Every structure is written in C-alpha cells, then in structure tokens.
A and B are shown apart, each in its own frame.
Chain A
C-alpha cells in the first residue's frame, strides 16, 4: 500500500496568456472506497496565488494551516503580500525541513506575479513531497492521475491561451485524465486567475 495513493486525488496547473489556471478533482477516498465527493484540495493563498495539495488527506489539512500561518507571518513582517516565486520557495523549504519524515503531499502552485512595468506574469510551480521545485513554462501535474494528466495535457495544451480557452483546456485535460484513474474523480473544480478576477467553476463529471 502506498501512502500517496491512500486517499487519492489529483491537481493540475496551466499557464495561459496573462492568466493561469489550477484545477483538481473533488474525491476523498479510503483506498478504493469513495468517502466524499466534495473534498477541496485547492486553497487560495493570496488574491493572486492558489495552492493545490494532492496526497494524504490528513496532511492536506495540516499543510493548509501551516502555509496559512507562514504566509500570515510573512505578510505581517514584510507588510506586503507574498509573491508567487517567494511562496514557491516557502513551500519548498517547509517540505524539505521534513526531509526524512515527509508530509505525503505534492504541492502545485499557480499565481500571477507583478512585473516592474505594472503588468502581470503567469507563474506555476510544483514540488515533490520533499520540496524539489519544478518551475514549468507550460503545465504541472500531481496526484494519482499524474501520468494520465501528463499525456492529455501534452496533447491539448498550447501557448498563449486566453482565459476561456485555458479554462476549456484544463477542464478537458483534468476530466479525461481522472476518468481513467480509479483514485481520482467524483467531480472537479477549476480556478482561472486573471489580472482582475478569479473565475471559479465546479465541473460536472462522471461519478463512477
């Protein structure tokens, strides 16, 4: 039995034109037994950063609180919002502190960082369970359906997608990947982060 597959679940993030998207399934299971179809594993960190935490459910809760605490401390000390790049390193170092007794979570981050000219730059990143960072330019995936997500995303994704097209791409990628994964599915949620708003939609998917 693998701890990473104990509760199931998957997350994916994609880069678009001046926007990013992050999406996950909503299943919580006890191995093959489905427990909940409304288990959130993506959480807002700031207005412009979302964090997905696929893996062991108990660690999802623990890490969410831990990151909320550490981001709050950062905000108070620095008197400004954390940038996505900084947050990625915060996630990485938090996980690496537990190098020899890790949290069983593979975080996925999506956000918009500010540019000097006042615009926004899309940012996505993912780490393994001990904090090895992966800054991808296209998409990152994690969870029990990761190999399926890689396959579909590699086929569907293209550069510079507008928010609505990015929404369609990430939704199709996630839905079709989790439909081939016994440990993921039971509904899905998508967040598309743009310069001035975050579009959040719950998707209707197969419930078997």
Chain B
C-alpha cells in the first residue's frame, strides 16, 4: 500500500478528459527497494598495483624489501608509496597487488592491534598470529567471491624465533626461509635461495642487505613495473624497523653499443 495520497493520482474528470488522455504524472515508487537488483559489485581486478616483495631469514631475524612504486596499469602513477607496514611490535608485512586493498588491510590490522592492546592482558600478537589472522580474512573474502587482491609476506621475530610466511588473495599460505611475490618469485627467488638456504643462522645483516639489494637491482633491470627506489625492513630481537627510501645504483654502460637499448644516432 502506498501511503502517500499525492501519489494516488487525480480522479479523472470526464468533462474535459473524455478519453483519459490527461497526462498522469509518473508516480514515484515508495515500496521496498531491492538494493541488489543490479547485483553486488565485487573486486574483479586490481587497479593501482604494487609489484614484488622480497624477504629472507638471516642470523638476527627477517629482512624484507619492496620498492615505492604503485602503478596504474603501465603508468608509474605513485612513486612514494610505502608497501611495508609494521604491525604491533614484532611484525612487518609487505604487499604486492592492489594498493587500496592493502591500505584497507593496514587499517583492519591497526584496529586489531589497538583492540588487543586495550585488553591489557599481558599478551601481544606475534607474527604467527598476524599471519593466521590475515589468512583467515583473505580466505573468507575469496570464499565470498570478493577477494582482497594481494600477495602478502609476513615477517617477524618473537620469543627468539624467526617467522616468515606468505598469504595471497586465494588464502593460500606457505612458509620458507626465502620468499618472493610477483616477478620476484621468478627473478629473485633463485638468487635468494642459493644465498640463504642452509645459511639462515649464520648470514650476517651486512651480507643479507647485499643479497636483498642485488636482487632488487636485478628486479629493477627486468621488471617493467618496478622503480629504483625501495625500502628495507628488518625484524629482530630489538624490534622492527623500516628504513628510509634507498636509491639503487644502476649501470647502463653496457647498453651503449647495443642497438635497440639506448638512443640511436642513425
């Protein structure tokens, strides 16, 4: 029943509208609305994206790196984006994939940490708990066919134990002493594995930094969605730290004599 009398329309007057041609205004619909008549819109593709994240175990803990670029398709759209994020006191996460989804994830994690802090129960969430939580969130979203379009690395150090694990938009998880997302899985992972496997407890911070930097450089040379500006995070017994942005030293001398690389004179 429409309870608005003005919507009921005028009674017809045969005196001047014998054939019912008087335009009756279209009545607004005041019944229940179906909000989903056009379907629910879900994320079907990532829009502004970050590329690879790298992480390794080393003597003192975990080292993680990601560059500062957020691309819009092939456009280098945002060149000062931070893709590493501290969660609590023992964990850093790094993200590839959709940056808006990542920033949403940062928000829910920050809220989670505040909730846990407010409890004041003497416990704090470690990397394993953060990773498990993320896996549950991402798996739940993929099960709703509304995924958070990211590949995430979770690195941490708590109670003398190193933690390094992966989780992605499907809810797939795994753990290893070296991890890399995106193009890093193809290009950097072999370099990281040969340097780190079986050396997790002896590799010095300096050596680890060099491996990471070299890998980031190779990625910059070959991944067209990367940039030569990146940050390194370390998570150790001393806590977490994310560096200022570093610039990669690159050399393009080799391109001089190669036709198709540099500027051609003829």
Would A and B touch once assembled, by the CB under 8 A criterion? no
Chain A residues engaging chain B, CB cutoff 8 angstroms: none
> Which residues of B are interface residues toward A (Cβ below 8 A)?
none
